[in-house]
Amino acid sequence: MFEDKTLNCKECGAEFIFTAGEQEFYSAKGFVNEPQRCKSCRDNRKNAAKANRDYHVAICAECGKEAKVPFKPREDRPVFCSECFAKMREEAQE
């Protein structure tokens, strides 16, 4: 049904393969457009937005460890480190 296609990256101009498996995934997700950028350029684009974030240091309300968060902590709301936050989410789903 699907066959590998060779596409050109609109960012760097390099050729890349849009595999049959990727096409099947895109179809299952309802995506109608083919990718316009190679994997490397897609990753660079995603990471560029993350690099511009300002991180703030806070103390975890659960374990007391230092945590870096991408938002400015407020006095009236607790802040949790990644580990404690993951534990809380896990417990809430049970």
Domain ranges of the chain: 5-51, 56-93
The C-alpha atoms of residue 58 and residue 73 are separated, in whole angstroms, by 7
Q: Which residue has the tokens 């049904």?
A: 1
The pLDDT of residue 54: 83
Q: Which residue has the tokens 């457009």?
A: 33
The pLDDT of residue 6: 97
Query: pTM of the prediction?
Result: 0.53
The pLDDT of residue 46: 87
Identify the CA nearest to 56 among candidates 32, 27, 77, 35: 77
Beta-bridged to residue 18, according to DSSP, are 5
What is the full per-residue pLDDT of the chain (94 aa) written as tens digits?
899 999 999 999 999 999 999 999 999 999 999 999 999 999 998 888 776 778 899 999 999 999 999 899 998 999 999 999 999 998 888 7
The pLDDT of residue 51: 67
